[in-house]
Structures are given as structure tokens and as C-alpha cells.
Chains A and B, each alone.
Chain A
């Protein structure tokens, strides 16, 4: 191969480096977008599997937990109705227990806010100098 032939072969590629760089950048952006889409799909499956399992089990008919399936074979909201109407001996005091939860949650919120804001206010004013 002569030097002249080599020069002419290289010439068109070297003539437009800007075009080549733009194409490489586009390819790179395309690859990262595909990667991001794959990662998002993996994250969705990872995050939602146990949560889907909660929802699936809650909509199953009695005894269906012990069968082989990926979605409830006989979906029904019956379990929710049993809970809300206290229709099982184990859930006899459901609304009482629900009230306990509400009571504890509101009292904890109230106490934490009151005690915490009183304390933080005086600690701020007292300028704890050396800190930790």
C-alpha cells in the first residue's frame, strides 16, 4: 500500500471528527438509557414483590394460601369484611384494638411534639457552647 493510498483512505474519516463524536455521544446516551430502563425494571420487581405478596394473600379465599399460584385463584375481599365486622373469634375486639392504636398514636405525637419543642427551644436559647 502506498502512502498516497493510505492518506486518501484516512481522509474521509478524519475530515469529520465532529460527526463521529456526535454519533458516539448518541450511542452512549442510548446505552445509558437502556441501562436505566433495565435497572428500573429490576428495582420495581425487587421493591414490589413482598408488597404484592401482602396484597395477594389478603385477597385470597380461605385455604388458598396452601395452593400453587401466582395470583389469587378465587379473589375476594371476604377477609377484609371478616376483619371489619369482627367475624372471627381471634378478631373479636378488632375495633377496640383499632381504638388503642389511634389513642397511642395521637398521644405519642402530642407528647413528643410538646416535650421535644420545649426542649429544643431552651437548648437553642442556652447556646450549648462546646457541644459534643
Chain B
């Protein structure tokens, strides 16, 4: 481009150039080529292992007749109730206790730190052995829990996994057991980023104990707590281990979640399309959650 034409078409030429620069993320010449080369492996993995399976799944679950079949299945209706209960109790219990316990772990002292290290064990131990262990522990006849109840208190415990509500409660218990440490550590980090001066100022104003929590800690943590709730809900809807290995969907398929029912339909009933349709039916809930989360995550830090 000559100087004359640059002056003549000054406006559009400059705009096009800056748009081009903008598109290349402010990189020039060979740097942009290198950046593209560095991105190629990631894009390849993303297309092969994220984009392709998602679109394949959408295609598999695209027939409307699948959904009439799914919705008329009585097991599916039970499963929906279970999933709602699992989300409502699982997410709220673990996050509420995590919020409270993160306050406890803020206490000074070496033994609180030691306890924290023991407390994060459930999260660090692989999921499979611990869930199989919980399955055995809750066995009505030989399980550790009922043995302990009998030997320590002389009580005959129920068979935890043989009724729908107890079994669902057991699955929620194992999920909370496994994941509460993780959220506690995250909320602990959130609490640690609240400057000490704010607490000092609150102390001068006479705020102690519950009032300090209600008027200082919680308002500062509220945004983080909301983001964590959304994130935990999304994680939990994809959680399959804590039901599959603790109750196995039983008794009589009454404690399935959408994820485990999808596995059952896809593999045990050898009907992959039906399994995909079950999991897809959670999308109307999942997609808004993800959108809200992405808009919220910008202010996930503790806000002053």
C-alpha cells in the first residue's frame, strides 16, 4: 500500500490493520506463527476428545422418540426425584459444613494444622477403594457401622442399603464425605485472603463471634460461596462414583442418578442411544448453570 492511498483511505485501512492486529492478539510476524504452532496440540486434543464426543452424543440423542421412551420409564421418574434430592442435600450440606469448618481450621495451633492434613485424606484417597469400603461398611449384617453400633451401644442398625431412602442417604453421605474436604480447603483459601485489618476494625466496633461472621466474613465470602455452589452442582450432576459403587443403583433401581441410569441403559441394557438421552435430559438444567457460572466467575475472588 502506497502512502497516497493510505492517506486517501486512511480511515478504513487503519481500522482493518488494527482489526488484524486484534485478531492476532497483539502479536507480530513470526511470533504469531509460533503461537499458532504452540496451540495446535491443544486444539487437536480438544477437537478429538471434547468437541467430537459432544457432537456425537448430541447426534446420538437427537431422535425425539427416544425422549418419550425415557420420560415414560418409571425408573427415570424415580431417578429425577433422586437427582433433585441428591443435588439439594449433597451440594448444600457439603458447602455449608465446608463453610463452617473452614472457620474452624482458621484457628491457630499445630494440632489444627495436623487435623487439616488428616481431614483432606478422603479427597486424596482414590475414589474407588473408599466407595467400595463404604459399601462394605454399610452392609447390614457384616458392616463395620452396624457392628460398631451393636458393640458400643447395643443397637441393631438397619440394613442401610436395602431401602430406597436409607440407600440414597448413604450415597449422599459418601459424596459429602469424599468432597467436603476439597470445598473446605477452597473456602479456607477464601477466608485467608480476607485482610486481618478488617477483622481488627470489626473488633474495635465490638463485633465478635456470630456477629463477626454475619457482618464481616460471610458478606465477603458470599460471592465465592455462590460460585462454588454452581460449580458443585455441575460437578455433582456428573458424579457417578458415589452412587454406582455405594448403592449400585439398588435396591431395585430405586437410587439411580441421571449419570448412573445413563450407564445402566447404555451398557447393562445395551442401548447406548437411550443412555445418552437420559444424560442429555439434564442439559436444560446444566446449560443455564454453566452460563451463569461463566458470567459470575469473573468476580469469584473475595470482594472488598
Q: Which residues of A contact B (CB under 8 A)?
A: 36, 39-40, 43-44, 46-54, 56-57, 65-70, 114-116, 118-119, 121-123, 125-129, 131-132
Which of B34-42, B61-69, B225-233 interfaces with chain A? B34-42
Whether A54 contacts B38 by the Cβ 8 Å rule is no
Question: In this complex, which of B119, B133, B297 has the most chain A Cβ atoms within 10 angstroms of its Cβ?
Answer: B133
How many residue-residue contacts, CB under 8 A, span A and B?
101
Whether A40 contacts B115 by the Cβ 8 Å rule is yes
Q: Which residues of A contact B294 (CB under 8 A)?
A: 132
User: Is B31 an interface residue when CB atoms closer than 8 A count as contact?
Assistant: yes
Bound CA span A57–B295, Å: 47
B22 to A, closest residue via Cβ:
A129
Whether A119 contacts B39 by the Cβ 8 Å rule is yes
Would you mind naming 12 contact pairs between A and B with Cβ atoms under 8 Å apart?
A: A36-B107, A43-B119, A50-B174, A53-B136, A54-B133, A56-B144, A57-B136, A122-B35, A125-B35, A126-B35, A127-B26, A129-B25
Bound CA span A77–B25, Å: 60
A119 to B, closest residue via Cβ:
B42
Q: Which of A39, A68, A127, A128 is the one whose CB lies under 8 Å from B142? A: A68
B295 to A, closest residue via Cβ:
A132
Whether A47 contacts B137 by the Cβ 8 Å rule is no
User: Is B165 an interface residue when CB atoms closer than 8 A count as contact?
Assistant: no
Q: Which residues of B contact A (CB under 8 A)?
A: 22, 24-27, 31, 34-36, 38-39, 41-42, 45, 101, 104, 107, 111-112, 115, 118-119, 121-122, 125, 129-130, 133-134, 136-137, 141-142, 144-145, 147-148, 150-151, 174, 177, 181, 294-295, 297-298
Whether A66 contacts B35 by the Cβ 8 Å rule is no
Whether B147 contacts A69 by the Cβ 8 Å rule is yes
Whether A54 contacts B122 by the Cβ 8 Å rule is no
Whether A44 contacts B115 by the Cβ 8 Å rule is yes
